[in-house]
Amino acid sequence: MRLLKIFPICLLVTLLCGFSSRSILGSFEGSATINQDPDQRYLTLTITENKGELQLEGMAGYLSGRSAAPDFSGKCHKKAKQYQFTFEDSFGNEGIGTLTSVKDDIVFSVTITTLKDPRCLPLYHSMLLKRKKG
């Protein structure tokens, strides 16, 4: 009898935990200008789950196609109300960052810890990324 009272609570906690970790999954994109530069930078990001581990992949660049356009990937985990991640890009740059949920979208924020190609640095600023539909 006591087990029947505990089971619905355990089920609810399991569902809520599963929902919160999956809500970040999906594909996101955004673009923005930096300072006085009229050329917009863009960023695309896909977050997937593989064997209980969150993975992210993305690419960044300028809409005009100028300069570097790195691909990046890394691992992500939930910490408090944010997701933290580490990444390495195709130019050898490495960094840490956070993803913060804003309704159905996310704010992508990065700190470069190892800079190998300074052309990539302007691409890694905080940016609001919208969830891709469909």
* pLDDT tens, position by position, 76-88: 999 988 999 999 9
Q: In degrees to the nearest 10, what's the CA dihedral of 25, 28, 33, 38?
A: 160
Task: Please give the model's pTM, rounded to 2 decimal places.
Answer: 0.78
Residue-level pLDDT at 34: 74
Domains of the chain, with CATH numbers?
2-131 (2.40.128.20)
**DSSP 8-state code for residue 133:** P
Reading the block at residue 89, the tokens are 């890009």
Average of pLDDT values for 67-96? 95
* pLDDT tens, position by position, 17-45: 443 444 799 999 999 887 777 889 999 99
Tell me: pLDDT of 6 over 90.
no
